[in-house]
Structures are given as C-alpha cells and as structure tokens.
Amino acid sequence: MTFTFFFQNVVNALQWGSFYALIALGYAMVYSILMLFNFAHGDIFMVGSYIGFGVATGLLYLVTSGFIPLPHWLVLVLTIVISMFLTSFVGVIVERIGYRPLRNAPRASAAITGLMIGIILETGNLALLGARRLNFPSLIMSRTYEIGGVFVTNKKILVVLVSIGLMLALDQFVRKTKWGMAMRAMSYDFVVVPLMGVSIDVIAPLTFAIGSGLAAAGGVLYGIAYPILDPYMGILIGWKAFVAAILGGRGSIMGAALAGFLLGFIEIFVAMIFPSTLRDLIAFSIVLAILTFRPYGFFGKPYSAKLRL
Amino acid sequence: MLLEVKNLRVSYGNIKALHGIDFQVDEGEIVCIIGANGAGKSTTLRAISRMVEVEEGTQMTFMGKDMLKYKPEKVVSELGISHVPEGRRLFGNLTVMENLKLATFARKDKEKIKKDMERMFSIFPRLEERKNQEAGTLSGGEQQMLAVARAYMSAQRVMLLDEPSMGLAPKLMLSMFDSLAEISREGTTILLVEQNARLALKFAQRGYVLETGNLVIEGKSEDLLNDPEVKKAYLGG
C-alpha cells in the first residue's frame, strides 16, 4: 500500500464520515435529552435531501430565468441554509405529533413510533413524487485538485468543511447559550428541569429542530456528492449513524460526531483491504468488538436515569 | 391567604399517598410539615409544584389563582414558587454558576437577577469560591447550599424545601437553617418538610404533623414542641 493510496482513502473517509457524523448528532442530541431514539431520523435526512432538491431547483430556476441574479456560491449557501431551516420544522412536527404524546409512555412505544414515522415519511414521499429517482441539481462545478498524488475534489472539501463548521457551531451553542445549558441539564436529569422554570416543551422541539437541520445539511451535501435521490436513501445511512451515536456514548454529542468519522474510516479502510462486498460485515464486526470492551461507548459514562422526582 | 390547599389527594398507582389533606400558608410565614419516612411529605411538595398529578376534588389556590391550571414550569416562573427537591437533584455536569444561571432561564428581570445572585453569594460565600466547579464535585454541604441558592434564583416568593437537613453534619445543619432564616427575612415564604422534627419546629412558626397521608395535628411550633403526642412520636420522648 502506497502512501498516496493511504491518504486518498483518508480523504474519502473524511467525506464519508461527515455524513455519518451529521446524522449521528441528531440521534445523540435527542437521546441525550429525552432518553429516546428517534428512529425516524434517517428518514429526516432523506426529507432534508429532497427539500434541498426542491430549494436548489427553485433557486436555479430563478437564476437562469433571470429573476434574481445570484452568484453560484450564494445559491449553494442558500440551498443549505434554507433546507436546514425548512427541515427543522419537520423535526418539530415529528416531536409534536409523534413523541410528545408518548413522553410518559414506555420507551418501546416511542421507538416503534419512530419506525412508523420513518415509514410514513418514506411512503409519503413515494406517494407524492413517485418511484422515479431524482437527480440532485448540480450546484457546483466539480473540480479536482492533485496534492502530492492525492486527488481531492472541491465537493469533498465542501462536504468536510461544512460538516466540521456545523459541528463546531453546535458545540459552541451547547456550551455557551442558555438553551444549550438547558439541553445539558436535561441530559443529566430531565425530570427536574421544569423546576428551573424551563419548559420541556421548548427544549424538546428545539433539539429536534437542530438535529433535523443538521441532518438536512447532511442530506444536501450528500445530494451534491452523490446526486441521486430515492425515498429509501435514509434507511441504511440512518442506521449506521445510529450505530455511531451509540459508539460515541450516551450524552456525548461530540462523541457521536467523532464516532461518525471513525465509522467512516473503518468502512473505507475495510473496503480498501477486503472486497467491498464484505465491507459492512467486517466493519460492524469491528464495531461489535469495540462495544464489547467499551459498552458505554467512547465518551459515555455509566448512567441510570431517575425517572421521577 | 397566600397558599390554600384543600382536600389534597394523590395516588401512585393503587397506593394512596395523600388522603385529602388541608393546609394553608400565609405570606412571609415559615411553616413546616413533619412526619416519618413515607408519610407523604415529599408528595405534598411535589403536588404544589405540579410534579405529580392530583386526584379529583383537590383544590389548590395561590393568591386566589387556581394552581391546577399551571404547568410545573409556570408554577415557578409565573407564580413564583421554587422547590428544592428531595435528594437535591443538582445538574452534576454543569458548573455551580451554570446551575444558578439555568434557574433564571425564564426570568427577564436582569437587574434583579444580578442582585439575587449577589445575595446568594453573600449568604453562601462557598458557592462563589466554587462557581466554576462542576456541581457533581461539591461536598454534601456545598451541594445543599447550591440546591437552595438555585431554587432561590428560580423564584423567591415561596420556597418549598424537601429535607434541607438531609445528610448534613449537625453543625452544617444549623448553619443551613441560619441561612434559610436569612432568606426568609427579606420576605420569602418558606414551606419545608423535615424528618428532623425538633430542628424544623424550632425554625418554623407553625407546623403540621403528617401521618400516612393524613394531617393529624397542627399548631404553633412551640405548642407542637410541648405536645405530649408529638414529643413521644417525633421528638424522642
């Protein structure tokens, strides 16, 4: 294995891990504050990608028809921002309709609700747009740079930089703002949070909104990197991001992001060495082995929630 | 009357915790509810905070308002009733300062928040020394200080205190009650529940005795301290 080949794979793994990380953040945030896995989250990624498709198509139409002369980079930025914004409402609606009525229900009911919402989003999309796959409009001209024998496309750079930028922004939000503080408090003891005058009905939808916005960013970036959309595109990537969230450890938001990247690295490097049909088999055997030795994940701590005051 | 509770009934599943109790707290008072473990003391405070559902027929009014219409967070932010829960329930992953700031989440009166914070730091100087430390690393006494200060920061018209003496060494217990007296001096009404009956009755002006979900005796603290039954059951003869 040559050095350049190795670094080529590092670049690929960074991009691949970015998607997992962006989705895993939403899983981890919701789990850490509400003790529930939002199993619809992979499908919210899918919805985000479709919303991105709609926004990009609309903006490009306005530009080419001469209505609003926007530079290309601005179309790209607006697509990401508007898609994140719109998809965050999908998250809020999912919380409001799907999870809030079940807040005191057994956790299994909430998990099943997530699966059902996921199926509704997939089949709803199918009913609305048909089984035809969609081509994500090209928002940037692909350029390839060669750095010491390693090929890097501008799309890969975009994916990785935007992802890392969003993660750092989230980290600041969670650490510095009062909403972030409330989220951290909820991850420690959500029962007692209302006694601080904080409404869980504010923090829970906010958390869903942020998680969904990040998934939408992932969806748009995914559409830019792999421009074919279909209603089931969120399932496998969603499950893998869920694995990353577990691997990161409960309550550790940044742990989920790092584990997302780690999972990207494991998959890419397994595929580098073994036939790619064995990729998931070997990659997830490695994950299983890691969890055997670190059952709380990398950054999780043994924890038992107090479920009432 | 500031707080008026009538026929308060609470059940956990099939187990009746409170069988319809009546009590009142007046503005500026210090009132205690004493009783054995499992008598329903904590449940009484949780009911006022709306953290447990009450049963049909319960009436709770606060300054004439029907409390049953309020959600737990609104009891704090709109009615001004704070609650130091059983076991303190601090956010161990947040710093002392963050615990205090979080309690002001719904408050908009910035100037007053600053003043309240200063007041808490003057009553509990240890908290200021440790303000950047994670709450989980504090000693038991410091945690109790933080629990009280945090509740005060969230609302100070009434404070509900669940066993403020729990787990404290006798000396710390006394200084905790001194601090509470200091807090009440500027107009905060206090309703506390305690297993340490003697301490509670010395601190409070009035008291109620709760026995397996029923209020059995009520009266002025000095009368309760001299009541033969209270003496026998709660003050060690």
CB contact under 8 A, A309 and B52: yes
Contacts of B104 (CB under 8 A, 6+ apart): A197, B113, B153, B154
CB contact under 8 A, A197 and B101: no
CB contact under 8 A, B94 and A181: yes
Work out the minimum CA distance from A210 to partner chain B, whole angstroms. 19
B12 touches A at CB < 8 Å: no
Are residues B207 and B190 in contact, defined by beta-carbon separation less than 8 angstroms? no
Work out the minimum CA distance from A76 to partner chain B, whole angstroms. 36
**Segment holding B2, helix H or strand E:** none
Q: What is the pLDDT of residues A153-195, one digit of tens each?
A: 999 999 999 999 999 999 999 999 999 999 999 999 989 999 9
Q: What is the ipTM of this complex?
A: 0.93
| DSSP 8-state symbol, B236 | -
**Alpha carbon distance B9, A308 (integer Å):** 18
**Segment holding B64, helix H or strand E:** none
Are residues B116 and B194 in contact, defined by beta-carbon separation less than 8 angstroms? no
SS (H, E, C) A61-90: HHHHCCCCCCCHHHHHHHHHHHHHHHHHHH
- The answer to whether the pTM exceeds 0.95 is no
Q: How high is the pLDDT of residue A252? A: 81
User: Which of the residues in chain A have pLDDT under 70?
Assistant: 1, 303-307
CB contact under 8 A, B102 and A198: yes
CB contact under 8 A, A181 and B92: no
Each of the 237 residues of chain B gets a pLDDT tens digit; together they read 899 999 999 999 999 999 999 999 999 999 999 999 889 999 999 999 999 999 999 999 999 999 999 999 999 999 999 999 999 999 999 999 999 999 999 999 999 999 999 999 999 999 999 999 999 999 999 999 999 999 999 999 999 999 999 989 999 999 999 999 999 999 999 999 999 999 999 999 999 999 999 999 999 999 999 999 999 988 876
CB contact under 8 A, B106 and A184: no
Topology annotation, domain A3-308? ABC transporter involved in vitamin B12 uptake, BtuC (1.10.3470)
Number of Cβ within 10 Å of residue B155's Cβ equals: 26
Q: How high is the pLDDT of residue B237? A: 65
Closest by Cβ to A178, choosing from B101, B150, B155: B101
- Where are chain A's structural domains? 3-308
User: Which of B144, B149, B137, B133 lies closest to B101 in space, CA to CA?
Assistant: B149
Work out the minimum CA distance from B96 to partner chain A, whole angstroms. 12
CB contact under 8 A, A185 and B91: yes
**Alpha carbon distance A281, A302 (integer Å):** 28
Closest by Cβ to B154, choosing from A187, A191, A196: A196
CB contact under 8 A, A189 and B86: no
Contacts of B155 (CB under 8 A, 6+ apart): A197, B76, B77, B79, B80, B81, B82
Closest by Cβ to B77, choosing from A178, A197, A251: A197
B94 touches A at CB < 8 Å: yes
User: Mutating which of A33, A196, A253 best tests the B interface, going by the most B Cβ atoms within 10 A?
Assistant: A196
Which alpha helices (H) appear in A35-144, and where do they start and end? 41-64, 72-93, 107-129
Which residue of chain A comes nearest to B136, CA vs CA? A188
Closest by Cβ to B73, choosing from A184, A187, A197: A197
Beta-bridge partners for A134: A229
